[in-house]
Chain A
Amino acid sequence: MAGTDSHYSDDTAQNGTAYEYQLVASPADPSLDSEISGPARSSVNFFDWSKFNVLVVAGIFFVLLFWYIRKSESGVRWIFRKIPGLAAIEEAVGRATEMGKGVLYVPGVQEIDDIQTIASMILLGRVARIAAKYETALNVPTNSPGVYTVAEEVVKSAYADVGRADAYKSDQVRYVTSEQFAYVAAVNGMMLRERPAANLLLGAFFAESLLLAETGHAVGAIQIAGTANVHQMPFFVVACDYTLIGEEYFAASALLSNDARLLGSLKATDSVKILMIAVIVLGSILATFGQTWLGDFFATQ
């Protein structure tokens, strides 16, 4: 152990076996050695108390979630601020229909287990319904086979739901490659050749964000982007017509659906955020006066 360490965790300890510990100086100096501790036995825990603070926040969120969903189902209507990018999604598809061109939907570059990709699939379902209704070509290049299988199912079902199963073409959704920059090169090539009227860049993006957005701008497409990756937001804001920033992206599916329960969950998220702001302000004031218990409670390991 380093001299600055204040605790030691013995990950090799067997449950039920008694262990004794002693601190021994290095280099050896018997006068600095500690006494031998009394026997200690580890045992299985059913709850990791170091995560209690997370459980508290999650519990508060669940309570608020169910409460707001019940309120929504009983007919309460919440007011949410308008997010320009959301209204623009349907306009963008409509514009593509008028121009006789297609819509390119890029679901990001992460695997299907990433929550941003899941949110992208949810939005893809809604966009696919609109595209099917307007008979607009919709192309979805994916960079992960997992995303491809889900996206194909989502688009196919969306077309079937609006009674246009016959209009679905099997190469609308395609797997391109898992390599990030090869994927960008392929998608840029699609933009330059097919010249879609609308680009929807919704998902997790990394360095390729500006490459996609600038190429889309060069072909004259209206572009709507949404991501929770903070480091890519500046590029989207600069190069796209509309950008859904952070939680706006996650709220998009709920707002587009107009479903009471989904809107209730959005309200719960807003409420938790207000609580967090209050805790941050209170914690900052307390810490200024030397009281760190609130901040310490929310510290994670």
Chain B
Amino acid sequence: MNLTSLQRLDRRWIFLAVGLLVIVPLLFNFHIAPVQPSNRSRGFYDAIEKMPEGSVVLLSGDYDPGTAAENYPMHLAAARQLMRRNMKIIALALYPAGPPLTDQVLRIAGGEYHKQEGVDYVNLGYKVGNELVMSQMGQSIPNTFPVDNRGVSVKLIPVMKGIQNFQQIRLIVNVSAGYPGTKEWVQQVVSRYHVPMVAGVTAVSAPEYYPYLQAGQLHGLLGGMAGAAEYEVLVGAPALATRGMDAQSLAHVFIAFMIVLGNLAFAGSKKGNGR
């Protein structure tokens, strides 16, 4: 094999290889290795598991379809665990395209655990304002969200009865794609009102939240689809993320191989030029 010519490899061959390595495991459902939950995912799971049944939890789905591959599985698994534990869920989204995803998650999990909208959970929808919304919720959640996603007054929704601000919230479960998201929740809410919080974020932004985890401001952290898969295993509902880990394993190995191949090609071209 002429390593020098590899330097001129059309990148579309690389795209094709990545495509096949991702599609084949998903289509043919073969397993490479079992998913092992990490301490960070266990922290996320345990934070919900050890709360008393019937606690009020704020579930904030701050992402849109762009990052749904990473965030949606963790959002759904969180809804499943919360409903299995009979928590009262107040859901919202700080991304304009987030509410339909939140709706879908609540509907699927609600159907599985026979939960009723308005009684066991509510989707407050989207509100413009980013951190300002969080700050306003600290004063009054009903004033910040006077109606839910369907346009029903929160005064008429049983699950919202007695909910004024963060003092009534036992835990914040945040699924975030970036801004506004976990960092803003920690800065605006956790720091001021000391509400416990767990977060599920995209893989690329997960390292940014390690300091919060180490400082105890986050009790658990899910990073990307791998974190979502670990959490699905803990919840006992392996689904999309778990299936995706086999494809991800192959893709990671391929990228490592590409780095080696690229450097071999580079070394070969340097040798050929007599340098």
Contacts and interface: CB of A to CB of B under 8 A. Distances in A.
Contact of A301 (B165, B191, B202): B191
A231 interface: yes
A206 interface: yes
Given A11-B167, A207-B204, A231-B207, A300 B191 contact: yes
Contact of A207 (B67, B138, B167, B193): B67
A171 interface: no
Contacts of A9: 193-194
B194 A5 contact: yes
A231 B67 contact: no
Contacts of B274: none
Interface string A262-301: 0000000000000000000000000000000000000011
A110 interface: yes
A181 B66 contact: yes
B62 to A, nearest CB: 13
A32 interface: no
Interface string B170-206: 0000000011000000000001111000000010110
A44 interface: no
B53 interface: no
A293 B44 CA distance: 32
A232 B178 CA distance: 12
A207 B203 CA distance: 11
Contacts of B208: 230-231
Contacts of B194: 5, 9
Given A11-B165, A11-B167, A207 B202 contact: yes
User: Which label, helix, strand, loop or mixed, suits the secondary structure of the A interface?
Assistant: loop
Interface in A85-121: 110
Contact of A231 (B97, B192, B193, B204): B204
A180 B207 contact: no
A206 B178 CA distance: 8
Contacts of A300: 191
Nearest to B202: A207
How many B residues touch the partner, as a band?
A: 10 to 19
A211 to B, nearest CB: 11
Contacts of B202: 207
Nearest to B67: A207
Interface residues of A, number: 15
Contacts of B66: 180-181, 207
Nearest to B165: A11
Contacts of A179: 97
Contacts of B204: 207, 231-232
Residue of B11, B66, B138, B208 with most chain A CB atoms under a 10 A cut-off = B66
A301 B179 contact: no
Most A CB contacts (10 A, CB to CB) among B191, B202, B205 go to B205
Nearest to A5: B194
Interface centre among B64, B194, B204, by most chain A C-beta atoms within 10 angstroms, is: B204
Contacts of B191: 300-301
A118 B67 CA distance: 27
A181 B179 CA distance: 15
Contacts of B138: 11
A110 B178 CA distance: 11
Contacts of A206: 178-179
B92 to A, nearest CB: 20
A110 B179 contact: yes
Contact of B205 (A11, A218, A231): A231
Scoring B97, B167, B178 by chain A CB atoms within 10 A of each residue's CB, the highest score goes to B178
Interface string A207-245: 100000000001000000000001110000000000000
B202 to A, nearest CB: 7
Nearest to B205: A231
Interface in A190-215: 206-207
Nearest to A301: B191
A230 B209 CA distance: 12
A14 B204 CA distance: 45
Nearest to A300: B191
Interface in B46-66: 64, 66
A11 B137 CA distance: 13
Contacts of A181: 66
A230 B183 CA distance: 14
Interface centre among B67, B97, B179 (most CB of A within 10 A): B179
Nearest to B164: A12
A206 B64 CA distance: 14
Contacts of B64: 180
Given A9-B193, A180-B64, A231-B205, 7 more contacts: A179-B97, A181-B66, A206-B178, A207-B66, A207-B67, A207-B202, A301-B191
17 contacts: A9-B193, A11-B138, A11-B165, A11-B193, A110-B179, A179-B97, A180-B64, A206-B178, A207-B178, A207-B202, A207-B204, A230-B208, A231-B204, A231-B207, A300-B191, A301-B191, A301-B192
Interface of A: 5, 9, 11, 110, 179-181, 206-207, 218, 230-232, 300-301
The 4 closest A-B pairs by CB, nearest first: A181-B66, A206-B178, A231-B204, A231-B205
